[in-house]
């Protein structure tokens, strides 16, 4: 029996990439984008940097992301678009809602942090062009000074490493970080019940659809999972009322011997920010006398869906 459509190949948390197109699009990004996708990493790359589109949608993408890559290059500070992205990413990082990885492409981290050389001159030119927006330029400068303090990955012009070699190591680092973020502790085995909660939806995008999933694997020797598991999702307002409840069943035996799969608990629409809710989702099997083994629950996640 083929696996049901509710369990999909792992999408993973979204990775947002901020970069200056004229510096890196035709070489570094053209290698990085397919490398991430081959690793099954869900990536968002802004293709409209120079088209003057509304930044609101871009900020939404940043809010929905778990990781952001900031590729600092020689002309990065010459783009108000890039600087607005960077300020938004710093805001999310400071809130504990985004992991930021700075990449210094043919630049020293100190040049960015201290706003030196041509990089600093271009930023000061940008400040002068936007002198009527002091709050905006202040956020830019704070982001440029603080983000390079994060442990990043420099690729200097004198490096013996090729772009492809550097990208391969970067993909490994991102995979390691995604695994760390997904696990949320030690995986557990042979339990009849697993659950997760999301205590406050105020950091989700109102009106957007999200899915709650369990990341599981059934090893080749798994037994005792002939009976389906029951999955429940509840959206509970803070006043105690239930907005929505979803119950469904799933047969896990169909996935014995597969790699990690997503088991869907349910889909919900994020409520308004002024009416935050708690999301509770569980997966359990009614108690039987069957001996069970081979189920590994790696983690749980809430993420945007189409």
Q: Which residues are catalytic?
A: 85
Residue 58 burial (CB count, 10 A): 20
Q: Which of 56, 82, 54 is nearest to 69 (CA)?
A: 82
Residues composing the chain: 306
Rounded to whole angstroms, the Cα distance separating 228 from 226 reads 6
Rounded to whole angstroms, the Cα distance separating 261 from 263 reads 6
* SS3 of residue 200 by DSSP: coil
Rounded to whole angstroms, the Cα distance separating 302 from 197 reads 10
Residue 288 burial (CB count, 10 A): 11
Exposed/middle/buried for residue 199 (C-beta within 10 Å: 0-12, 13-18, 19+): exposed
């Amino acid at each position: 029996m083929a696996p049901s459509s509710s369990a999909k190949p792992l999408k993973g948390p979204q990775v947002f990439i901020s970069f200056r197109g004229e510096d890196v699009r035709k070489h570094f990004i053209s290698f990085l984008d397919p490398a991430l996708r081959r690793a099954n990493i869900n990536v968002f790359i802004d293709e409209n940097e120079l088209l003057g589109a509304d930044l609101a949608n871009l900020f939404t993408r940043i809010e929905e992301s778990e990781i952001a890559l900031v590729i600092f290059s020689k002309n990065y500070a010459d783009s108000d678009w890039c600087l607005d992205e960077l300020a938004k990413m710093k805001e999310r990082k400071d809130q504990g809602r985004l992991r930021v990885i700075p990449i210094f492409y043919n630049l020293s981290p100190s040049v960015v942090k201290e706003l030196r050389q041509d990089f600093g001159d271009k930023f000061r030119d940008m400040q002068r062009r936007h002198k009527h927006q002091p709050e905006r330029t202040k956020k830019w400068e704070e982001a440029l000074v603080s983000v390079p303090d994060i442990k990043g990955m420099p690729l200097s012009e004198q490096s013996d490493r090729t772009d492809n070699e550097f990208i391969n190591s970067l993909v490994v680092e991102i995979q390691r970080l995604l695994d760390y973020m997904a696990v949320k502790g030690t995986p557990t085995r042979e339990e009849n019940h697993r659950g997760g909660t999301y205590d406050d939806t105020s950091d989700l995008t109102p009106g957007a659809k999200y899915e709650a999933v369990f990341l599981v694997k059934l090893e080749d020797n798994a037994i005792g999972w002939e009976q389906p598991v029951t999955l429940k999702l509840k959206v509970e307002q803070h006043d105690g009322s239930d907005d929505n409840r979803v119950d469904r069943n799933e047969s896990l035996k169909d996935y014995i011997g597969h790699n990690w799969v997503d088991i869907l608990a349910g889909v919900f629409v994020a409520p308004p920010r002024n009416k935050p809710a708690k999301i509770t989702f569980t997966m359990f099997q009614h108690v039987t006398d069957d001996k069970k083994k081979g189920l590994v629950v790696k983690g749980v996640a809430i993420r945007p869906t189409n």
